[in-house]
Structure 1
Amino acid sequence: MAVKELHSAPRLSALYPKALLGGLRTGGREAGGALPATEYVRGDVVVDPAQLAAYNQVCGFRLTDELPATYQHILAFPLQMALMTEKDFPFPVLGMVHVANRITQTRPVRLDEPFTLRVRAENLRPHEKGTQFDVVSELVPNASAEHHDPIWTDVSTYLRRGGGSGGDRSKGAREQLAPPAPSAIWRVPGDIGRRYAEVSGDRNPIHLHPLTARLFGFRSAIAHGMWTKARCLAAFEGRLPEAFTIDVRFKLPVFLPAKVAFTSWRTEEGWAAELWDARRPKPHLDATITAG
């Protein structure tokens, strides 16, 4: 696999217009193709304490000198966008759906700890609604050997709709389920998309304002999937081991503003959680947390 070394974070302000042009000029991309055999690598990454504090506040985490397991995703996101907006990437970024995210940390990452980020795409495979693939992001401490195993791994699964084998056969059954008794009710403000965009850099227009969201077929702005995951993870602070995996499947979007119901329960492996629309039996995500 070829390695593309970066000395700074790619500018998202330049990548979003590139993503828009790629969506308008799909050409052969619609037919798909092989994922690029390129890994983006950025070394000597350091955390901005002010950005971390703002992130923690928006997502509901406490202020500590350890990074929440979801925080590194926003540091890897510019590399992900750079990878997915290159000409050799088989799909346009516009129209892709983030359907799942799995994060594994073998130990917490400290605020003052420099590290290297690695990002690549892999595992292109069919889906009943189209084609899906994974974008894998890894964090390796600078103090480790060059080929040391990562201490943090993020696997984001994306779906490109079209050409699949059929509809979502589980949808009807899922929507018939009654929501579980909530552990908490959260009111999600209408500006949470803009607030999360400010700290994460993810300024996808579907999250920012009802008018821009309607241009892409949504009745109002929707919350970032990674904000909902982070908010759910924050509810477990103080109850998790240092090494764990949190695996989330994103279901129906959270239309802003919203009132959502969160519930969690213990399992043999660790914890499970769900987020629902508090007014109707509509699931937003489900999550599992396993130790080790």
Structure 2
Amino acid sequence: MTLLRAALTSPFKRGGGRPGAALPAERAIRPPAPVAPGPLAAYRRICGFPDTDELPLTYPHVLGFPLALRLMTARRFPLPVVGLVHTWIEITCHRAPHPADPLELTVYAEGLSPHRRGTEVTVVTEARRAGELIWESRSGYLSRHSTNTRRAASTSHDTSTRHTRHAPNASDVADAPDTAGTRTTSSGPTAAVPDVTGTADAPGPSVVAEWRLPADLGRRYGAVSGDRNPIHLYPLTARLLGFPRPIAHGMWTVARCLAEAPTSGTIRRVRADFRAPVPLPATVTYAADVTGFRLRGADRVHLTGTTDGPPGPPSAPAPATDGLP
């Protein structure tokens, strides 16, 4: 019902949020409650997390998603939620939460930022146990629309000046339409990286595994996470929003990479940047070293991440799998 309402109201929200504009001050709060075991078990299975006495690092974000959706579908929220794409996320775990912990969740929008592909909003999720902040995340969500910045760049003949003024960053190509021969960049809130297109074969982490991602992965993860954004579901719904095929959820790719890390249980901080969409079905390679991880397809990098733990690869690459546990 929430997404249906969003679909009906989105045409009246044309990316009108302006950087620095006031966002609704409301905070969505879920009172303290333990984690439901059934949904948690389903999440562990689809992402590959083991059954331990700690919550997967990414799971509080999933618990907070209904609150985030409530905020972003409210009338006063300036951006249309249908078609929003996840561009980056930072997660910090101060104290590991457990399934039996009565977690109180708070979600709020922190600010709007200019993005060459449109406008980006930062959404904060916090988890508290007995009043103590034990887990938090910050996420960037992009509303794609035409901007003066893009028009000015397209008419500029001084490419060196253009790239100086609009330094590409790790969220530049996040979830942009994956059309042949087309690449887009933007200026956003993160540090510049040299690999703008995601196609350069620069040195990086060693390959750990190859995953074959099925066409229905978006629907399966959406059923578990509650994130049923149409860009993830079917070819038709994805095409209506500018994507030739449905794309994998960014949060599934992050979770799957973290679950694969040999030291996943010790990671307490992660920064992930979604460099390009993963069209479904797809075959991707997962690579990791002591500083982070990377997910890439045949011709581009889809995801890069850094962690505070050593997700080092085994001594030899693992055989290809379907990407799912």
TM-score band by shorter chain is: 0.7 to 0.9
SS in 2 for 1:165: helix
SS in structure 2 of the partner of residue 151 of structure 1: strand
Aligned equivalent of 2:147: 163
Determine if the alignment matches structure 1 residue 275 to structure 2 residue 295.
Answer: yes
Tell me the CA shift for residue 26 of structure 1: 2.3
In structure 1, the partner of 2:40 is 52
Any idea what SS the aligned residue of 1:178 has? coil
Equivalence for 1:152 = 135
CA distance in 1, matches of 2:196, 2:96: 38
Conserved in 2, the CA contact under 8 Å of 1:45 and 1:117? no
* Cross-structure match for 2:161: none
Contact 2:89 2:140 in 1 (8 A): yes
1:132-163 Cα offsets, whole Å, 9 max, x none, are 2210000001xx24xx3x11101111122332
Q: Distance in 1 between matches of 2:126 and 2:199?
A: 38
Shift of 1:41: 1.1
Q: Deviations over 1:201-242 (max 9, x none)?
A: 111122112222222222221111100010011012435536
Query: Which of residues 71, 74, 98 in structure 2 aligns to 1:86?
Result: 74
Kindly indicate whether the alpha-carbon contact (under 8 Å) linking 1:131 and 1:164 is maintained by their aligned counterparts in 2.
no
Distance across 1 between alignment mates of 2:121 and 2:22: 11
Rate the CA distance shift 1:81–1:173 in 2: closer, same or farther, 3 A. Answer: closer
- Select which of 240, 245, 269 maps to 1:215: 240
Q: Give the match for residue 286 of structure 1.
A: 304
- Corresponding residue SS for 1:202: coil
Shift of 1:188: 1.0
The answer for the alignment partner of 2:229 in structure 1 is 204
Tell me if the contact between 2:17 and 2:112 (Cα under 8 Å) persists in the aligned partners.
no
Letter in 2 for 1:225: G
Following TM superposition, where does structure 1 have runs of at least 4 consecutive aligned residues deviating by more than 6 angstroms?
none
User: For 2:76, what is the secondary structure of its paired residue?
Assistant: coil
> Contact 1:130 / 1:164 at 8 angstroms: preserved in 2?
no
Take 2:247 and 2:258, find their aligned partners in 1: how far apart are those partners? 19
Mapping of residues 68-217 of structure 1, within 5 Å = 68-141=56-129, 144-145=130-131, 148=132, 150-161=133-144, 162-163=146-147, 165-166=149-150, 170=168, 171=185, 173-178=196-201, 180=204, 181-217=206-242
Please give the secondary structure, in 2, of the residue aligned with 1:30: coil
Residue 250 of structure 2 is aligned to residue 225 of structure 1: yes
CA-based RMSD of the aligned residues comes to 2.1
SS at match of 2:54: coil
Shift in Å at residue 50 of structure 1? 1.2
For residues 126 and 81 of structure 2, what CA distance do their matches in structure 1 show?
Answer: 21
Q: 2:287 aligns with which of 255, 263, 280?
A: 263
Contact 1:130 1:165 in 2 (8 A): no
Give the fraction of aligned pairs with identical amino acids, expressed as a percent. 42
CA contact (8 A) 1:22 1:93 kept: no
Between the two proteins, the alignment pairs up a number of residues equal to: 265
Structure-2 change in CA distance of 1:160 and 1:239 (3 Å): closer
In structure 2, C-alpha distance between the alignment counterparts of 1:88 and 1:174, rounded to whole Å: 35
Sort the Cα spacing of 1:56 and 1:240 in 2 relative to 1 into closer, same or farther, 3 A: closer
Closer, same or farther: CA 217–137 of 1 in aligned 2, 3 Å: same
> Is the Cα–Cα contact under 8 Å of residues 127 and 164 in structure 1 kept in the other structure?
no
**1:64, CA displacement in angstroms?**
1.8
TM-score normalised by length of structure 1: 0.84
SS of aligned partner of 1:182: strand
Higher strand content, 1 or 2:
1
Contact 2:73-2:81 within 8 A present in 1 as well: yes
The 3 A distance-change label for structure 1 pair 176 and 190 is closer
Whether 1:30 and 2:16 are equivalent positions in the alignment is yes
Q: In the alignment, does 2:269 pair up with 1:245?
A: yes
Give the TM-score taking structure 2 as reference length. 0.76
- Name structure 1 gaps, 5 residues minimum: 1-13
Cα 1:284–1:58 shift into 2, 3 Å: same
